[in-house]
Amino acid sequence: MQILQQAISISELKELAQNTFGDMIKCVADVKRGLLAVDADLHADLERLLLEDGSAQEDLWGFNLWVEEEGEDFIEFDSLINIRSWQGNPSRGVENPEVQKVIKSIVDKFITI
């Protein structure tokens, strides 16, 4: 479990995925600070790591990266930590396309081919 400090390659991401699910890795992005936490059994653990690092709850969004996939299938916006009706997101997905766009840009910043 870590907050990435620099970009890693897709092959390094695949190695991290072997610690948990093999073909998928759980992630949480801080859309305000531009941070990415990876490599835990639960999104909630990554959320806690970022909160302890100074992130605000409303800026944290959970998702999965499928390390053997490409394009739209690479990112899956699905996490229990995303359920927050008070923020206009009543589902496990990330319903706001602008938030999805920010998450994708953070992933692009930290995960290289």
Tell me what pLDDT residue 113 has: 75
| Residue with token string 């806690």 | 48
Confidence of residue 66 (pLDDT cuts 50, 70, 90): very high
Contact 35, 2 (CB under 8 A): no
Q: Name the domain count of the chain.
A: 1
- For 3-52, how does the pLDDT look when each residue is reduced to its tens digit (9 = 90+)? 999 999 999 999 999 989 899 999 999 999 999 999 999 999 999 999 99
- pTM of the predicted structure, to 2 decimals: 0.94
Range of the domain at 73: 2-112
